[in-house]
Amino acid sequence: MELPRLGVVIVTMGNRPREVEELLTSVAKQDVAPARIVIVGNGSPLPDFPGLPGEVTVIENEENLGCPGGRNTGIVQLRQFGDIDVVVELDDDGLLVRDDVFRRIGDLFAADPRLGIVGFRIADEHGETARRHIPRLRAKDPMRRGLVTAFLGGAHAFAMPMLDRVGDWPAEFFFTHEETDLAWRALDDGWHILYEPELLLQHPKTSPARHAVYHRMTARNRVWLAKRHLPALLVPVYLGVWIVLTLARTRTAGGLKAWSSGFAEGVRTPCGRRRPMRWRTVARMTRLGRPPVI
């Protein structure tokens, strides 16, 4: 069985030089070397990175394009090489603890031609996985492997043929819910999403709400998701569920105000091309434990 050729994309804003060096050291220790490594400076200059396996390309975006835009820069570069089968994307403050991660990824994609996305398990330095990092509802066991409807943006692998069919990251999202947009497109095109907890990225414990734009973009992008991808009957259901959940979860008046502003922005602004998923995709997601209304 011939293993696919792996390309690695790491996006950084240049403010974590020590963490990036440690991540690249863990990449260099892998028992299967990637064919290509692309390091993207998202609105920041970067140094050279000597001593890495494979061909290393450093790209400096003139401005911060956000998480999805920066990753697209790396994917476009890998696509130009023309010899990459699987794209591995890693957060710049993560760390590969084991040295067999890339070999395991290659085995997974070689065994299933319909495998589109593999999501890693993310755990902090104490080995704990936050509830929000388990891509299932009512999930307590982060070690439960299987097919899912979502994946984590901090550590994952894509089949390049899947990206070629469904498209790259939605750059206009900038931050939050870009993973859901890509996952829904992949599922609707018939690809599998696998959560593989044996693929571990160690990542410091953080909260997405630390970003000033979190509440606004969370609301705006949820509205865009519904407008872009849901059957018309499910749009008010999805948005209604998330209005109730947000009112129950948000603890500050400032957060609610920013969320309301983002929701209104999502309603009044264009969301890109509308391509609602098929009802059989809705049924498939429901069988997998997460209908596209929660």
- Round to whole Å and give the CA distance between 152 and 67: 13
Nearest to 225 by CA among 279, 281, 263, 280: 263
Would you give per-residue pLDDT tens digits along the chain (294 residues)?
A: 688 999 999 999 999 999 999 999 999 999 999 999 999 999 999 988 888 888 899 999 999 999 999 999 999 999 999 999 999 999 999 999 999 999 999 999 999 999 999 999 999 999 999 988 999 987 889 999 999 999 999 999 999 999 999 999 999 999 999 999 999 999 999 999 999 999 999 999 876 655 568 899 999 999 999 999 999 999 999 999 999 999 998 888 998 999 999 999 999 999 999 999 999 999 999 999 999 998
Correct CATH for 6-206 of 3.40.50.720, 3.90.550.10, 3.40.50.920, 3.40.50.300: 3.90.550.10
Residues 88/7, Cβ–Cβ less than 8 Å: yes
Residues 258/209, Cβ–Cβ less than 8 Å: no
Residues 281/223, Cβ–Cβ less than 8 Å: no
Helix (H, G, I), strand (E, B) or coil at 89: strand
Max Cα-Cα span within the chain: 57
Q: How far is Cα of residue 93 from the mean position of the Cα atoms in its chain?
A: 15
Pairing of strands 155-159, 55-61: unpaired
pTM across the whole model? 0.95
Residue 130: how many other CB atoms lie within 10 Å:
14
- Round to whole Å and give the CA distance between 35 and 43: 26
Mention every residue, 6+ apart, whose C-beta is less than 8 A from residue 140: none
**What are the structure tokens assigned to 256, written together?**
């609610």
| DSSP symbols for 248-291 | HH---HHHHHHHHHHHHHHHHS--S---PPPHHHHHHHHHTT--
Domain extents in the chain: 6-206, 209-287
**What are the structure tokens assigned to 171, written together?**
């750059």
- Residues comprising the chain, all counted: 294
- Round to whole Å and give the CA distance between 278 and 294: 17
- The values of phi and psi at residue 90, to 5°, are -130, 135
Scanning the chain, the segments in alpha helix (DSSP H) are 17-28, 66-81, 101-111, 160-166, 178-188, 214-229, 235-249, 253-268, 279-287
